[in-house]
Amino acid sequence: MSIGDNVFAASIAELYDAVLGPFMFEPFARETAARLSGLDGNVLEVAAGTGVLTRELDRALDPKWRITATDLNAPMLDVAARKLSSPRITWRQADALALPFADHTFDAVVCQFGIMFYPDKRAGHAEAARVLRSGGQYLVSVWESLSDNPVAEAVHRAAGAYFPDNPPEFLARTPHGHHDKAMLRGDLAAAGFRDISIETVTLAAGRLTAEALARGYCQGTPLRNEIVQRDEGSLGLVTAAVESALKARFGDGLIESTIEALVVSARR
């Protein structure tokens, strides 16, 4: 993973939430919250980002649940806190690899599309295991490959075509680069988890325009950092090229597509 893969400046965080939130994160947030709705206890959300899942958890879970939502990036949490004020939610900046909580504190730990950004994934899983109570649930989602996520694949190809000698690899390397089921299972077992279940889930993506999705991916994710590093003046041009590629593949108007991920559940 490149160091820049973890850089979500304020301008990126706002666009990330506004565009990619409804397109890809909200559908899985509803799926994740539904899987936790029958449980009882306190929840830790790791790598909460702009709070897309947090908002869904707040709507779906029993009011007696308390939710602690953490992320390494302060600009992401700033967006999250502005969008949701709830007395049962605590927002806290925290490193998933060094959580500032005592052992056996939470009944569930959840991480939606965050572990791909961990520099040491086993260490992140081990921290989740440490703060979970015995029998507690660990629920994680990880994007499947680019070939299983058509819009992301089209964005990746179009951005790469603009820089053929040095194509940006963020989407392939990080969000869609950690879907090896055997590796996931091995990392979780090494961290002390049991009853490991890995399920492939395909959902309908939110319907947005090619223009919105091109801006969301090119300017609202760390792909922006790779584009600017290659040519500081090319951000608008690459965004336009990606928009054209999306229209060529999916047509004008609102894009209809699918998103696919692995939903991983385990017990401590």
Whether 117 is covered by a domain: the verdict is yes
Could you read off the pLDDT of 58-70 as tens digits, one per residue?
Answer: 999 988 889 999 9
Position 39 scores a pLDDT of 77
Domain that holds residue 24: 3-145+172-205+258-267
Distance in angstroms (rounded) separating the CA atoms of residues 199 and 188: 15
Position 6 scores a pLDDT of 52
Distance in angstroms (rounded) separating the CA atoms of residues 234 and 227: 7
How many structural domains comprise the chain?
Answer: 1
pTM, two decimals, is 0.93
Whether 151 is covered by a domain: the verdict is no
Position 40 scores a pLDDT of 78
Whether 100 is covered by a domain: the verdict is yes
The CATH number covering residue 73 comes to: 3.40.50.150
Whether 177 is covered by a domain: the verdict is yes
Residues contacting 97, CB < 8 A, separation 6+:
118, 119, 120, 123, 124, 127
Whether 114 is covered by a domain: the verdict is yes
Q: In which residue ranges of the chain is pLDDT below 70?
A: 1-10
Q: What are phi and psi of 181, to 5 degrees?
A: -65, -40
Position 1 scores a pLDDT of 52
Residue 211 in tokens? 């223009």
Whether 111 is covered by a domain: the verdict is yes
Could you read off the pLDDT of 142-189 as tens digits, one per residue?
Answer: 999 999 999 999 999 999 999 999 999 999 999 999 999 999 999 999
